[in-house]
C-alpha cells in the first residue's frame, strides 16, 4: 500500500527525492531505468545544482504527477495531484 512516506519519507518532506529517487527506487522497468541516462535527467541535475533556471529540469514527477491550481488556505498555488488515476 502506498502512503505519503512511500515517496516522501517518514521524517522529512523532500520533494526532490520524491520527484526522482522514490520513483526509480520502486519502478524497475526499462523506461524508468533509462531516465538517469536521458537528457531529462541532465536538465534535472542542472536545475537542482542551481546552474539552470527554475522549471527547466524534467523529473519523473514532471510528467507523471499531474499539477493543478489549488487554494486550500486562500492562497493560489500549483499543487501536485497524487491521484495517479487522473494521469
How far is Cα 33 from Cα 27, in angstroms, rounded to an integer? 8
C-alpha 85 chain-centroid distance: 16
pTM of the model: 0.77
Note the pLDDT tens digit of each residue in 12-70.
777 888 889 989 999 999 999 999 999 999 999 999 999 999 989 999 988 888 888 88
Residue 84 has pLDDT above 80, yes or no: no
Residue 81 has pLDDT above 90, yes or no: no
Query: Which residues partner with 67 through β-bridges?
Result: 80
Residue 71 has pLDDT above 90, yes or no: no
Least Cα distance to 76 among 85, 86, 68, 87 occurs for 68
Q: Is 68 helix (H, G, I), strand (E, B) or coil?
A: strand
At residue 55, the pLDDT reads 87
Amino acid at each position: 500500500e502506498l502512503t505519503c512516506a512511500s515517496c516522501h519519507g517518514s521524517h522529512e518532506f523532500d520533494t526532490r527525492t520524491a520527484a526522482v529517487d522514490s520513483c526509480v527506487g520502486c519502478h524497475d522497468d526499462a523506461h524508468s531505468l533509462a531516465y538517469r541516462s536521458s537528457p531529462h535527467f541532465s536538465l534535472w541535475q542542472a536545475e537542482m545544482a542551481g546552474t539552470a533556471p527554475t522549471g527547466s529540469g524534467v523529473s519523473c514527477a514532471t510528467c507523471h504527477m499531474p499539477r493543478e491550481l489549488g487554494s486550500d488556505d486562500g492562497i493560489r498555488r500549483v499543487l501536485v495531484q497524487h491521484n495517479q488515476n487522473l494521469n
